[in-house]
Structure 1
């Protein structure tokens, strides 16, 4: 789940790299009642409430009831804050315990389900995961656990990275799109079920999309008596089962 930054300059700016002072404050005179943990927690809450477009240092300072300059005692830039928030979010991902005796399939499913939930809960996470190096302690712990679980599959060493990509890039895409969908539904003021029922009708009345309504329900294939959430869970579980079966088959081939 570690994403590489696109340029060396971006890498040098990472808040996590050696040589970048890791501090709880810049020294004497820093504002009382603040520390990085409190600032990071407020950043996560603000991003959840208002998204990346609504986030600013001034808005964060107002949330903390301090001046913007007070925040700068603890971080140098807005990017530092976003990196800290990104890693704090990865700290919410439940990691499997190696001593439980569960096989790799159960561990992999648990990681995938947790990652999907994280992406939906924090819609701002997916764009940030592609923007930064993602080398904070929580993100690295997640990556180590993913490699440990995939290492148990029996795949040859050259297949490990491909298997990780297949599963977690699928989850990244599914969770990102699901988060966008739920955001659109929330903005509409409708329930998910009302939104799903009304969307094809709305499309059929618009000349530009009238011909695209056939099969529109298949975007979220809700069955009779099933909620939108249940349909999303069902489709996710089925797709994940396909990937697990594929890993099993490739491991058997050696």
Structure 2
């Protein structure tokens, strides 16, 4: 069994996907398997977040003893890693492959990633804490790498382009998901929460000087009548800007290569 203390000794190599577990003797608890544990953990994470996930609560949800879980996982970190990889399995890889060119593939990948982050608000704070090298995550990473490679950018420019697009998506999806979580915790729709929060800002006389310079943009956003419409419009436009930037960089590199001949 891999204990938390053992993981702490070598965190850079700590992952459920790298550790070799000893084979358990005999059969596991009846009616329980890793897929069922992971599915239950995702439900709990979606409803309550990372902080409230525990082996004891998960066992109660599954109707088993906490010790039963250790037949399939060694730590709570194992469960989170399995859960993270499972939601990467929600990406529609067939839709990515069906896209006509690298621009469309990047758009599909970006929208799939954003949707996953919004569906699972616990994913954003999990990023960076784990190596995230499960089979589904690797499959998605490979599709991203392929799409960026097909832009025609030189190898040393590809990581920057990848970061520009997908770090943007991570940030956008994180803000969107946390806004939705905050609205839900307040017992309000996103539209209600947005209208109330902006009204509070506008009605506070201390903010009058700042609002004066923001009046047009606040009015423009309010004219859409739906926070969801604002999220979608701004995301798509920003993604178009990033893709256009990559196209400019590709053309610039091609022009530079021609001049050197």
Q: TM class by shorter-chain length?
A: 0.7 to 0.9
* CA drift at 1:188: 1.9
Distance, in Å, in 1 between the alignment partners of 2:219 and 2:114 is 16
Q: Deviations over 1:105-138 (max 9, x none)?
A: 1111000000000000001011112100011111
CA contact (8 A) 1:121 1:179 kept: yes
Query: Which one has a bigger Cα radius of gyration?
Result: 2
CA contact (8 A) 1:220 1:231 kept: no
Which has the larger share of helix? 2
Q: Deviations over 1:48-106 (max 9, x none)?
A: 11111111111100110001000011111010111100110111111256763611111
1:93-172 map, 5 Å? 93-96=91-94, 100=98, 102-172=100-170
Q: Deviations over 1:10-53 (max 9, x none)?
A: 23321001x42287xx2314211111111111111110111111
Comparing 188-197 and 129-138, the one that deviates more: 188-197
- Give the TM-score normalised by the residue count of structure 1: 0.88
1:211–1:81 CA distance, 2 compared to 1 (3 A): farther
Provide the residue aligned with 1:13 in structure 2. 14
Distance, in Å, in 2 between the alignment partners of 1:52 and 1:205 is 36
Q: Secondary structure at the match of 1:92?
A: coil
- Count of residue pairs brought into register by the alignment: 245
Provide the residue aligned with 2:55 in structure 1. 57
Distance, in Å, in 2 between the alignment partners of 1:13 and 1:188 is 37
CA contact (8 A) 1:10 1:132 kept: no
Provide the residue aligned with 2:230 in structure 1. 231
- The higher-RCO structure (CA 8 Å, 6+ apart) is 1
Q: Secondary structure at the match of 1:131?
A: coil
Provide the residue aligned with 1:3 in structure 2. none
Structure 2: unaligned runs, 5 residues or longer: 1-7, 254-261
CA contact (8 A) 1:204 1:211 kept: no
- Give the TM-score normalised by the residue count of structure 2: 0.85
**RMSD in angstroms over aligned alpha carbons?**
2.5
1:95–1:101 CA distance, 2 compared to 1 (3 A): closer
CA contact (8 A) 1:116 1:175 kept: yes
